[in-house]
């Protein structure tokens, strides 16, 4: 019976991957037909996928026109995003849990949290440039602000949604307050915490690209900005596609982590 279920799960995963691959191929086919065959848009505004692929291959080794290869842009963006994101997660998730679990922490932190929550991280770009200049620190701090808010919010909500009857049963069997937190509240809040991590990752990349568009000398956002200035739409699309590929890889990694840490995770 277990083997039959495993075979069914494998078939479903294979079907999902085939459908995903077909949708990508159909999209590329429509794009090629509209640009290279029917020429519905001029090549300088919407290049064909062949031109974009050629630019992608060229940028792997060439630094023109913006002074860096695609790999250098990718590493520059990844370094900043990783630094700010990890800092936001390390501070945001525990802080959200403590706010939900301890009333006195909630009373102290909530006024500051409520003040920062409605502020768009992009609005902080001029302040960061004035304080820290066009540096990695400025962009990392900006990403930290875009990451820490959803991490706090989802962690807080996840702990608050813990069923009181589960805590009551644990307390009946003599579990301490700390044991209730680590054995019941946090495991039950993991789906919400992972949802917050996903939202935070999306917010951090948006903040990073916005910062690089306005003030940077290297990174995928900077490459897109240079492409806009030079009317190189192929360069712009290469940068956008790289961001999309990064998103796919990150989503895959989150799926793996979620299967490891979230109890009762859905088999995909």
Per-residue pLDDT at 268 exceeds 50: no
DSSP state of 123: G
Q: What is the dihedral of CA 90, 93, 94, 97, to 10 degrees?
A: 180
* In contact, 156 and 98? CB cutoff 8 Å: no
Give CA–CA dist 264/26, Å, rounded.
Answer: 35
- In 3D space, the residue among 44, 48, 22 whose CA is nearest the CA of residue 34 turns out to be 48
pTM of the full predicted structure?
0.83
Q: How confident is the model over 1-46, as pLDDT tens digits?
A: 566 767 777 788 888 888 888 988 999 999 999 988 888 888 888 8
Q: How confident is the model over 56-106, as pLDDT tens digits?
A: 999 999 988 888 899 999 898 888 888 899 999 999 999 999 999 999 999
């Amino acid at each position: 019976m277990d083997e039959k279920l495993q075979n069914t799960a494998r078939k479903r995963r294979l079907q999902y991957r085939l459908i995903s691959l077909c949708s990508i191929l159909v999209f590329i086919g429509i794009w090629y037909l509209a640009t290279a065959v029917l020429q519905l848009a001029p090549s300088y505004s919407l290049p064909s996928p062949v031109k974009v692929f050629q630019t992608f291959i060229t940028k792997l080794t060439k630094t023109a026109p913006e002074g860096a290869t695609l790999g250098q842009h990718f590493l520059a963006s990844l370094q900043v995003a990783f630094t700010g994101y990890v800092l936001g997660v390390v501070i945001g998730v525990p802080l959200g849990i403590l706010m939900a679990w301890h009333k006195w922490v909630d009373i102290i932190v909530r006024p500051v949290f409520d003040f920062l929550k409605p502020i768009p991280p992009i609005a902080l770009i001029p302040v960061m440039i004035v304080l820290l200049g066009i540096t990695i620190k400025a962009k990392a701090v900006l990403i930290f602000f875009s990451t820490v808010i959803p991490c706090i919010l989802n962690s807080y909500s996840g702990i608050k949604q813990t069923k009181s009857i589960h805590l009551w049963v644990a307390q009946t069997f003599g579990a301490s307050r700390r044991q209730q937190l680590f054995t019941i509240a946090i495991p039950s809040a993991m789906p919400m915490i992972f949802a917050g991590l996903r939202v935070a990752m999306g917010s951090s990349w948006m903040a990073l690209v916005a910062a690089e568009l306005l003030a940077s000398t290297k990174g995928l956002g900077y490459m897109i900005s240079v492409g806009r200035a030079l009317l190189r739409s192929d360069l712009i699309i290469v940068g956008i596609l790289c961001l999309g590929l990064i998103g796919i890889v990150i989503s895959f990694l989150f799926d793996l982590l979620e299967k490891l840490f979230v109890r009762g995770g859905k088999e995909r």
